[in-house]
A and B are shown apart, each in its own frame.
Chain A
Amino acid sequence: MDFNGPNDVVAALRSADYLADERIGQVVFLANRLDKPVLVEGPAGVGKTELAKAMAAVTGRALIRLQCYEGLDEAKALYEWNYKKQLLRIQADVDHDWDSISHDIFSEEFLLTRPLLEAIRSTEPVVLLIDEVDRVEVETEALLLEILSDFQVSIPELGTMTANTQPLVFLTSNNTRELSEALKRRCLFLHIDYPDAAREQEILNARVPGLSEHLAAQVAKVARSIRSLDLKKAPSISETIDWARTLIALSVEEVDEAVLGDTLHVLLKYQADIEKAAKELTSSPRV
C-alpha cells in the first residue's frame, strides 16, 4: 500500500484507532517511501509497539515480531540449522557418499527460520517489529545491521538471502541504554512523547466507548497534571485508558478529589508515587 502523503498515513492510522500526530505521520510516510527502518523511542506505554501493530492492520500485512531480551542470539533471531532433522537424514541414507549428503543437509529444507529471516523470505510484504531493541547487548545489535541496511541475511552455508519484498521495519526502544551509532545511522528516528491534553482526549474517545466528552477532557487534564509531577513512573496512555474504563465501570460522571483518591492506583503503580500524587492533587493547592 502506498501513501500519498503524511496526512494519508494519519488518516489510515486513524481508521485503525491509532491517533497519530503530524510527526508520526511524516516519519512513517518517509519510512514507506525510502524503505528505511524506523527507530521509535519514548517512555513506556506511549504506543510504540501499538504503532507497528496499527501499521500492519492498515496495510493488511502480516506482523512479524521479534521480542528482544538479554541473551538473544543468532539462533533465536535469525536462523538455526535443524540438526535433529539433519541427523535423521544422515542416518536414513547410509549408502550415499558423504559429499552428496553434506551438500544435501545444508539446504533450505533443514533451515529453521527465526523472525528476521522469516521477514526476509516472506513472499508477501510484512511489517517487522523488533521490540525493545535496547534490551539486547551491544554485541548482539550487530546482528541487526545487515538486515536493516540491505534487507538481507548472509548464511555461510547457503549464501546471501535478499528480501523478496520490502518489509516495513519498526524498532522500539525504551532508551534504557544508548544504542550504537551504527544502528541509529541506518534508521529514521522517531521520538514519541506523552500526547498533549487535546490529543490524549481524542485517543480516549476513540479507545473507550461510552466515555463522555466532558469526562474524557477531565481524564486527559488530570493525566497531564500527574505527569508534570516528579514521579518514579508517570502514567502511560494505556494506564489513562484503563483509568477511563474504571471510571465508566464505577459510573462516575465527574472526576472529583474523592474519586481521584480512590482510583489513583489504576494510574500509578508505585506506592510512593500514589502518595505523592494524592498529596499534590487532592490537598490544598499550591499558590
Chain B
Amino acid sequence: MLGVITGFVDELRASGVPVSMVEAIDAMRAVETIDIGQRVALRETLRATLVKNLRHERAFDTAFDVYFSTVPFPSDPDDRFESPSGGDPGESSGTQAGGGDGERDQQAIFDALLAALAGMDGEALRRSVREAVDRLAGMEPGRPVGGTYYLYRTLRRLDMARLEAELLEALAGDEELTELENRLLREEVQALIEQLRQEIQDEIRRRLVADRGREAVAKTLRRPLIEDIDLMHATTNDLADMEAAIGPLTRKLAARLARRRKRRAGRLDFRRTVRKSLATGGVPADPQFRHPRPHRPEVWLLCDISGSMATFSRFTLQFTHAMATHFSKLRSFAFVDTIDEVTDFFGPGIDFGSAVSRITTEAEVVWLDGHSDYGNSLETFYARYGSQLTPRTTVIITGDARNNYRPARDSVLGDVAKASRALVWLNPEPMAYWDTGDSAMSSYGRHCTSVHEVRTLRQLEDFVETLTLPVGRLPQKA
C-alpha cells in the first residue's frame, strides 16, 4: 500500500498538483487510522490530506481512478473483477452462433441498461456496463490510447439518443405532464445518462490500467490544470471552470491597486496640533496629521475583441465582468478596428451572457473591415476619452498587438501613458512570437509601464501578485 501511495503522490505532482512533503506524510498517517478495505474511505482520506484546492480535484479523481481501480477492495461487490461470463446462460448459448446475433446482443445490453437506469439499481447498472464495455468497446490490448476512443465507440454503439428517449418514456409513466414536470424529468434523465457515461468511462479506464499499467495510463490521461491551460485555446468548459477562479483573483487585484506606499500621513492638521500642544505647555511636540484619503483606484480596461482573439477576449470580458463588481470606477472599452465604451453593459446585476451579447450587437467596434487596427482604435480612444484620463487612472490593455500590417501609430500610446498613472499591456501570446509577422508589440510596449505575457491563469495570477505601480505619478504639481 505504501508503494502505491507514494506512486500516487508522484502522479499528482506530475499532473501539477502541489503536494508538499508534510501533506504526503499526513496522508500516510491518515491512511493508518482508517479502514483501508473501503474504497470510498481511502479516496476521501487521500483527498482531504493531499488536495487543498477545488481546482485540483479533477486531477485527483483521474489519478485515483488510475492508481486504485485495479486494487481490489473488500468493500467492492464480489464480481467487480470477474470477466462477465456473457449474460444469462440462455442468451449466451444463442450468441455463440456469431454474425447475425450481434444486433440481438446489443439489444439485450440496451434493455438491461435501460432497466437498471430506470430502476436506479446501481448494482445492476455496473453489471450491465461491464457487459456493454466487453461487447461494444472492442478494446484491443496494448494500444496506447487514453480511453476516450473506446468510450465514444461504446456510446455510439449503444445509441444514447434512443436510450435517453426510452428512459424518458419509462420514467414519465402514463400521466400528462406539465411543462415544469417535463423539465424536471428531463434533468433527472440527463443526470442518469451522465452517471452511465461515468460508469462506462470508469470501466474502460480500469481495463486500460489492467492492460498497460498505471504509469502509462496516467501519463496519457494527464491534463493540464485549469491554471495552466492556454487561454488562446481554452474550451468553453475550461472557461466556465476558470470563471470560478477569476473572482478571488480580481479581489486581489483590487487590493493591489488600492495599495499605495505607506506614507507617514496626510497634511499637517494645524487645529489638532495646537490642541495637542496644550498638554505640553504650548510646545507643539507632537504634530498631528490629517488622515490620508483612502486611495480609490480608477481602472480603465481596453479589450481587443476581434476574431483572432475570440477565446481570449471571452476570458478578458469575464475578467472585466468580475472586476466590475470590485471597482466602482472601472471603465471598460472594447475595440476591433475602432473603440467603444462598454462600461454600461457590465452594470451590477447584469449577467455575463447578456453583457457579451449586447457588446457584440450594440457596441460600435467595427469601423472598416472588422480586422484588428490598434492604431486607429488607440487614436480614437485618445481623441474621445483622453481628456478624461487622470493621474489616478490605471489603463490596462489586453490584446495580441497584431495589427494586420497597418500603421502602428504608437505615439498616441505615449500620450495615454503620460496622462495616466500607469499603462499595462497584457499579451496572451507566447513572448517568443511577439514582433513576428504583424505583431507590433515592441512599438507599443516601449510606451507601457510594463508588458506581461498572460497565456494562462497562472500567469495572470503572477501578474496580479507582482503588480506594483509607480507611486511617483500621484497628483503633484510640476
Contacts and interface: CB of A to CB of B under 8 A. Distances in A.
B20 A225 contact: no
A224 B187 contact: yes
A27 B44 contact: yes
Interface string B44-60: 11011101111001000
A285 B248 contact: no
How many residues of A sit at the interface, in one of the four size bands?
A: 35 or more
A12 B310 CA distance: 52
A221 B54 CA distance: 25
Instruction: Determine the main DSSP class of B at the interface with A.
Output: helix
Interface stretch (A76-84, A122-130, A183-191, A244-252): A183-191
Interface residues of B, number: 41
Contacts of B40: 22, 26
A39 B41 CA distance: 18
Interface in B243-297: 247-248, 251-252
A270 interface: yes
A284 interface: yes
Contact of B49 (A22, A188, A222, A283): A188
A216 to B, nearest CB: 14
A184 B50 CA distance: 10
A215 B111 CA distance: 31
A257 B178 contact: yes
A91 to B, nearest CB: 20
B184 A34 contact: no
Interface stretch (B207-215, B346-354, B412-420, B427-435): B346-354
Contact of A221 (B18, B187, B252): B187
A100 interface: no
A39 B349 contact: no
Contacts of A30: 30, 33-34, 45, 48-49
B187 A34 contact: no
Interface string A25-41: 01101100110101101
A176 B51 CA distance: 18
B166 interface: no
Interface string B20-37: 101100100110011100
Interface in B38-79: 40-41, 44-45, 47-49, 51-54, 57
Given A184-B52, A189-B52, A281 B180 contact: yes
Interface of B: 18, 20, 22-23, 26, 29-30, 33-35, 40-41, 44-45, 47-49, 51-54, 57, 178-180, 182-184, 186-188, 191, 247-248, 251-252, 349-353
11 contacts: A5-B34, A5-B35, A26-B40, A26-B44, A30-B30, A34-B26, A38-B48, A41-B54, A176-B247, A177-B248, A185-B23
